[in-house]
Every structure is written in C-alpha cells, then in structure tokens.
Amino acid sequence: MLNLFISVFFSICIANLLKLYQKHSNVNFLNIFIGNYFIASIFSIIQNKLSFTLILHWDIILAIFNGVLFLLSFYVFQKNIKVNGISLSVSIMRIALIIPTLLSVIVFNELINSYKYYIIGILLISILFLSKHDKQINPLWLFLLFILSGIIDFSMKIFDIYGINSSSMFLFILFLSALITNLLIIIFKKIRFSTRDFINGMILGVPNQLTSLYLLKALSQIPGTIVYPVHASSIIVFSILSDLIIWKERLPLKKLVLFSIIVLCIIILNIKA
C-alpha cells in the first residue's frame, strides 16, 4: 500500500508544481514541457531495456498520436489549474474514465453493470452543479481536459489489447514524439528558449515518471480492483487538501459535498464488479 500512496504523492506534486510555475514571471510552459518530456524520454531508456527489433507497426503510429495528445493535454491541464484550480482539474481528469468505459461498451462489446450508467449520470450532474455553483469556472477548458484525458485513456487500452511492441518501446516513442512536437511548435512560433523553464520542466519530469513507476509497483502487489479506486479517489482528496492548505483557497460546503459525491462515484466506477 505504501507504493500506492507514494504514487498519489507524486501525482499531487505534479499539479502543485504546475501551479507554482504559474507564479513565475514570463514563464513559458512549452519550454517547461521540453524539460519534462526530455526527462521522460531518458527515463524510458534507462528504466527499460528497449528492443528496436520491431518498430514498424501500427501501434507506433498510436504512440506518436498519443505523444501529441499528451503534450496537448498537459498544456490544457496547466491552463485548467490556472483558471479552475487544482482540485477541480484533477477531478475532471479522473472523471474522464467515463469515456473509455462507454467506448469499451460500444467498440469492444464489453458489459458493465447497469447501475454504473446511473453513476455516470450522477458524475455528469455533479460537474454541472459545480459549474453552476462557481461562476469563475471556465467550462470550455474543463471540457477540453475531459475529452483529451478520456481519449488518451482509451488509446492506452487499445494498445494494451492489440499492441505488438513492448510497453517500454511504446512509451519511449510516445514521449519522444511529444518532445519533437514540442520543439517544432517552439521553432515555428519562434519562442525564445529559457534555461530556467527547461530546468523546471526537468524537475517536473521526475514526479511525472515516479507516479507511473510506483503505480506499477503497487499493481504488482495489490489487485487492480483496489489500486485504481483508491489511487483515483486519494488524488482528488489530496488535491482538495492542497488547495485548502497550500494555496489557501476557499471551498464552500456545497462544493465539498459535490467533491465527496464525485469521489464516491469514481470509486464505484473503478470497481470491476
């Protein structure tokens, strides 16, 4: 269980680092993302023994596609943290599991218990109430984060089912494509390189990688039916605490009740029963 909560800790670190970087003057997140994906690419090489014997396959195209989506979702995530706060942004990323859940039913003919459709409905209604309760919320950024996170999760499931290359190869191509796309955008937009932002990105890349590493360690010790609901719900709870304690944000009782409903619904949706 320790590995699971270490993963949760590093996941919360990512969101808080993004919020911290937004406090810097003249910050450019594309330079930060270069540092992040540079570390991610290096980490995937060091951590895994890559085999380049089989690279020309459709799942490499999927990895490149996901790499671009990862970059875009990271940008949208930091934008959401800025305009919508950490707790709501993290919650939306977790709620996005609705998309792969429903697509799995449509595409793979998977069966889910009928009560989970009601849970999905409750989740969506809770988000609508949150948006109505807080007039400062920007629903467009939330919607973009929801869609991107859901598509990425479903793409990873497609690789898990049909992929031929190793997961280490898949992740290496994914991170490398995100890095290259990031560089091309910077060159095209003629953005000035910032050593400070690049170093901050490398710092960000460390918890970004350790989150996945310790989650995998937890999955090797604890059943996924326990890991996924505890991991998702704990991240939301601790993101709310970081908003309250670190950033001194006010969360009215109604908002806390809605977050509690969201946490409970996510736990139920993650339970494979």
User: Is 254 a member of any domain?
Assistant: yes
How sure is the predictor about 172, in pLDDT bands with cuts at 50, 70 and 90?
confident
How sure is the predictor about 56, in pLDDT bands with cuts at 50, 70 and 90?
low
User: Is 25 a member of any domain?
Assistant: no
Among 14-18, 20-24, 190-194, 268-272, which stretch is predicted with the lowest mean pLDDT?
Answer: 268-272
User: Is 37 a member of any domain?
Assistant: yes
Average pLDDT over residues 12-38: 93
Q: What is the pLDDT of residue 269?
A: 86
Q: What is the pLDDT of residue 50?
A: 57
Average pLDDT over residues 93-104: 92
104: domain range?
Answer: 2-16+30-270
pLDDT higher than 60, residue 273:
no
pLDDT higher than 60, residue 54:
no
Convert the pLDDT of each residue in 124-136 to its tens digit.
Answer: 888 888 776 666 7
Q: What is the pLDDT of residue 132?
A: 67
Q: Supply the pTM of this predicted model.
A: 0.91
Q: What is the pLDDT of residue 88?
A: 92
User: Is 219 a member of any domain?
Assistant: yes
pLDDT higher than 70, residue 176:
yes
Average pLDDT over residues 30-42: 94
Q: What is the pLDDT of residue 55?
A: 57
Buried b (16+ CB within 10 A) or exposed e, 35-67: bbbbbbbebbeeeeebeeeeeeeebbebbbebb
pLDDT above 90 as % of the chain: 53
pLDDT higher than 70, residue 52:
no
User: Is 104 a member of any domain?
Assistant: yes
User: Is 24 a member of any domain?
Assistant: no
User: Is 21 a member of any domain?
Assistant: no
CB of 119 within 8 A of CB of 269? yes
Q: What is the mean pLDDT of the chain?
A: 88
Number of domains in the chain: 1
pLDDT higher than 90, residue 60:
no
Q: Which pairs with CB-CB distance under 8 Å and at least 24 residues apart come from 45-51?
A: 45/172, 47/168, 47/209, 47/213, 48/166, 48/167, 48/168, 48/171, 48/172, 49/168, 50/166, 50/168, 50/169, 50/172, 51/166, 51/169
